[in-house]
Structure 1
Amino acid sequence: MLTDTPSLQDTAVATVLLVDDEPNILRALRRVLRQEPYRVLTADDGEQALAVMRESAVDLVVSDSRMPGMDGAELLSRIQQEWPDCRRLMLTGHADMTSTIRAINEGQLYRYIAKPWSDDELRQILRQALAHHQAEREQRRLEALTRAQNRELAALNESLEQRVAARTTELREVADMLDLAYGELKRSYVTATQVFSSLINQRLPRNLQTNAQVSDLVKAFAETHDLDEELKRSLLMAAALYNLGKMTWDDRILNAPSERLFAADRETYKRYPVTGEGLLMALDYLEDTAKIIRHHRERWNGSGYPDHLKDEQIPYGARLLGLAVDFIELQRGMILQRRLPRDDALKLLKKLGGRVYDPQLCEAFVTLCIEQAPDLGLAGQSVMSLDTRRLEPGMILVRDLHSESGMLLLNEGKQLTRGLIDRLMRFEETEDTSYTLWVKLPDGDPE
């Protein structure tokens, strides 16, 4: 048994075993593969080849058909039985067709190579075989990952169903609390999705963890516009889980703005809504949520994906989720190559109303963001958008204030004083402009 030099072994990406009883053939094959990034092992008969297989992880075997003792067909048949994942190729002459056919039937050959071979063709065949081998391994890995995720979701679902059963028993015992307890039970579905969302965030970099802000936007819009309770619950769960389909991506795709992805990476990105829907199919109570996730990348003019729906063919919840997701991801630099300031992101949404977004829904969404700013993470606090003449001493700034030229005037968290307000008003007069500030009352102050 021979191996390549240590320097080649250190950089090898695959292990290839060459089997032939003629030393000159083995030398010729090794010369052909000298420039290839393989770890090359050799054996001069079938028994020695099997010994090599037991000692080393071999990705591909190239065996001569005619060898004394164990011929190539028998060797490849035994390898197929013991190491089915290993690719198997046979070198054969025109007179060896009977042995070749037996090897195809018993050893399940990937391919046979006729003697005399072409060096370029031989190298190409090995590259294709190893590429196919690697692709199958990756497919099995992804399938195993998907099965594991489905098992995890199924386990969470089973736990949730147990909680539902326990709550139902309690409802039967306390009839006068039926309506209240039933509403709490449905809200627990949303709570369960927060668990899923936290699992998703373990995979995503911190700057790409957008679910919380998207959820705040969707919740505020649903409450402001009195959306149906069922739709509201489905939307909140979709906001928590819409990134589920990105879990199998590598970090390179995760960290790249979507508009900068091309070719295969772009296709991978465009599949994530369908992947997310598929992972939720086993959970019956998330059917509407899964539908919203599938269609949240559709566009009003039909240019979206995955189904190229247009206008009101797109589910209402998906239209709203798409607006919220784009608004946050534009500010995080996840769509364009640069991060958009919040106000610029709102202007872009408004500009795209009627093409990318439902025009009426877009107008209502932008108005909500301007007037209430639920995405600023100030849930439970009284936040107001005021011009300088309505400001009062003691109010606290919740967003940095910049001048028209981009200079920072006041930083977030600054408590306003009468002198500071007066100076700001004089600055407006000098610059012939006006400013709107996002402020809140001090903790403990009445609204």
Structure 2
Amino acid sequence: MSEQHSATLLLVDDEENILNSLRRILRHEPYQILTASDGDQALQQLSQQPIDLVISDARMPGMDGATLLARIHQRWPDCLRILLTGHTDIGATIKAINQGQIYRYIGKPWDDDELRLVIRQALAFQHSERERERLERLTHEQNQNLQELNATLEQRVRDRTSELQQTADMLDLAFAELKHSYMTATEVFSLLLNQRLPKDKQTNAQVIALVRAYADYHKLDEGLSRDLSMAAALYNLGKLSWDDRLLNRPADALYREERQRYQLYPVVGENLLMTLEPLQDAALLIRHHQERWDGRGFPDHLKEREIPFGSRLIKLAVDFIELQCGLFLERHLNRDEALLLIKKYAGTLYDPQLCERFINLCTHMAPDLAMADTSIVPLDTRRLTPGMILARNLHAANGMLLLNEGKQLTRLLIDKLIAFEAAEDSHYTLFIHKPEVATTSQQEHVG
């Protein structure tokens, strides 16, 4: 129901028959009708309840209609005011217009239809004015809210951006911790793998150290470095089902059926890891780490750059370590022999460019990695001094043995090595016992 249909009207007249006549005219209209016989009574009713429209006679004893409507205008300006006036009440009409600011005046005798129409129009006008005022207040409130919002918007944007950045940082930290947890878990599991092998054939830690050293030195991206570490930790996972005899046999000494089983271990390792999404890339590196540069490896006979880079690097690290552990050939090679053999097969088994970088890493940049004795130091020929003892065999670039392990250097030998380097346009790194170790060895020899 609209405001017009629930309007309250107050009829004011000192003549009861006029009030009855007005009630009769409005009895079918949807208004609440109140009456008053004088101005004081009308003001009292206005003070007790809200009234939308007052129709007052002009001539009344005591307070006349113009005065009443003027007071109503002062106290209740939203209440509409209509004056009923006779032809001789021109002064009261003017007063009501000027002081009471009435909506309309209606002359007596009135036309019933006209009176009903005037009331409807007055209430419709009142309704539209109230709606306009409501909209103005709403607009004012919204403008104030908008001004406040604009005043604080920049700060709120900064605050929200800071919250989002903090959330993103927390997610990044959680993801980094998750990745670190996977890497830690793979290394712990690699220790379990080692329990199946004799101590001198436990290779995972050395392979991990080598691939990490390469990744750090060549600044490989974080994702590849992580996959390389996990693949290095679990590369021999597929060997878990082997019996102890097969585990301890060098790859070069396997029989035909054993070789067939051996060639499946990268695939078995991949299959065991593929259900773990964070390990799927590492699993692919494991699958292909026994492929050969010439395409004659296994399991898929990939060749050259068809082989994933990480698989090519892991093969170099695995072969280098396993050559020294007796897992590749029937005899154990020392570090230098292993590097010479790897260099010999560059372009056949190994990526030639990667092979060169790998050998350089092992001999010059990180000589103490993987099976290195901490009592041994690498030195170039210009840093050698007489009395130093060779800790490993020294081979020429063509593989020729130059000096045996245990050889004590003299000034003459050092000068010959320097001259040989110049003649061959090559560079040699000699592995020397640290002075205190060398002294002890000499004393034991003398004793």
Quickly say closer, same or farther: Cα 1:179–1:385, change in 2 above 3 A. Answer: farther
**Alignment counterpart, residue 320 of structure 1, candidates 309, 313, 328:** 313
2:207–2:370: 8 Å Cα contact kept in structure 1?
no
- Corresponding residue SS for 1:386: strand
Match of 1:242 in 2: 235
Matching of residue 265 in structure 1 with residue 235 in structure 2: no
Structure 1 CA distance, aligned partners of 2:351 and 2:309?
A: 9
Report the AA paired with residue 296 of structure 1.
Answer: H
Report the AA paired with residue 323 of structure 2.
Answer: L
Report the AA paired with residue 274 of structure 1.
Answer: V
Report the AA paired with residue 406 of structure 2.
Answer: L
> Post-superposition, which runs of at least 4 consecutive aligned residues in structure 1 deviate over 6 A?
171-175, 381-384, 430-435, 439-442
2:336–2:392: 8 Å Cα contact kept in structure 1?
no
Match of 2:292 in 1: 299
Match of 2:21 in 1: none
Structure 1 CA distance, aligned partners of 2:434 and 2:168?
A: 43
Query: CA deviation digits over 1:24-47, x for unaligned, max 9?
Result: xxxxxxxxxxxxxxxxxxxxxxxx
Matching of residue 335 in structure 1 with residue 328 in structure 2: yes
Instruction: Please give the residue correspondences for 1:39-118 in structure 2 after superposition, counting only pairs within 5 Å.
Output: none
**Alignment counterpart, residue 254 of structure 1, candidates 247, 256, 262:** 247
Q: Which runs of 5+ in 1 are unaligned?
A: 1-170, 411-422, 443-447
1:387–1:437: 8 Å Cα contact kept in structure 2?
yes
Quickly say closer, same or farther: Cα 1:232–1:430, change in 2 above 3 A. Answer: closer
Query: CA deviation digits over 1:161-184, x for unaligned, max 9?
Result: xxxxxxxxxx99886666555434
Matching of residue 375 in structure 1 with residue 391 in structure 2: no
**Identical amino acids, percent of aligned pairs:** 53
- Give the CA deviation at 1:243: 1.0
Matching of residue 224 in structure 1 with residue 231 in structure 2: no
Match of 1:200 in 2: 193
Quickly say closer, same or farther: Cα 1:392–1:216, change in 2 above 3 A. Answer: farther
1:383–1:440: 8 Å Cα contact kept in structure 2?
yes
Structure 2 CA distance, aligned partners of 1:244 and 1:261?
A: 19
Question: Could you tell me the TM-score, scaled by structure 1's length?
Answer: 0.51
- Give the CA deviation at 1:274: 0.8
Query: CA deviation digits over 1:3-32, x for unaligned, max 9?
Result: xxxxxxxxxxxxxxxxxxxxxxxxxxxxxx
- Corresponding residue SS for 2:328: coil
Question: Could you tell me the TM-score, scaled by structure 2's length?
Answer: 0.51
- Corresponding residue SS for 1:385: strand
2:288–2:307: 8 Å Cα contact kept in structure 1?
yes
1:220–1:374: 8 Å Cα contact kept in structure 2?
no
- Give the CA deviation at 1:337: 1.9
- Give the CA deviation at 1:383: 9.0
Matching of residue 425 in structure 1 with residue 411 in structure 2: yes
Quickly say closer, same or farther: Cα 1:229–1:374, change in 2 above 3 A. Answer: farther
Quickly say closer, same or farther: Cα 1:430–1:440, change in 2 above 3 A. Answer: closer
- Give the CA deviation at 1:283: 1.1
- Give the CA deviation at 1:211: 0.7
2:392–2:406: 8 Å Cα contact kept in structure 1?
yes
1:242–1:293: 8 Å Cα contact kept in structure 2?
yes
Query: CA deviation digits over 1:254-285, x for unaligned, max 9?
Result: 11111111221111111111111111122111
Instruction: Please give the residue correspondences for 1:158-177 in structure 2 after superposition, counting only pairs within 5 Å.
Output: none
- Give the CA deviation at 1:386: 1.9
Which protein is bigger by CA-based radius of gyration? 2
Report the AA paired with residue 336 of structure 1.
Answer: L
Report the AA paired with residue 203 of structure 2.
Answer: T
Structure 2 CA distance, aligned partners of 1:292 and 1:284?
A: 14
Structure 2 CA distance, aligned partners of 1:425 and 1:376?
A: 31
Structure 1 CA distance, aligned partners of 2:434 and 2:172?
A: 36
Structure 2 CA distance, aligned partners of 1:193 and 1:318?
A: 17
Structure 1 CA distance, aligned partners of 2:319 and 2:328?
A: 8
- Let me know the Cα RMSD of the aligned residues: 3.5
Structure 2 CA distance, aligned partners of 1:304 and 1:311?
A: 11
Structure 2 CA distance, aligned partners of 1:341 and 1:268?
A: 28
Q: Which runs of 5+ in 2 are unaligned?
A: 1-163, 395-401, 422-427, 436-447
- Give the CA deviation at 1:429: 4.5
- Corresponding residue SS for 1:288: helix
Matching of residue 409 in structure 1 with residue 407 in structure 2: yes
Quickly say closer, same or farther: Cα 1:219–1:311, change in 2 above 3 A. Answer: same
Query: CA deviation digits over 1:37-67, x for unaligned, max 9?
Result: xxxxxxxxxxxxxxxxxxxxxxxxxxxxxxx
Report the AA paired with residue 214 of structure 2.
Answer: F
Structure 2 CA distance, aligned partners of 1:274 and 1:336?
A: 22
2:273–2:279: 8 Å Cα contact kept in structure 1?
yes
Quickly say closer, same or farther: Cα 1:181–1:440, change in 2 above 3 A. Answer: farther
Report the AA paired with residue 234 of structure 1.
Answer: D
- Corresponding residue SS for 2:407: strand
Matching of residue 400 in structure 1 with residue 391 in structure 2: yes
Q: How many equivalent pairs are there?
A: 257
Match of 1:288 in 2: 281
- Give the CA deviation at 1:186: 1.8
Quickly say closer, same or farther: Cα 1:298–1:388, change in 2 above 3 A. Answer: closer
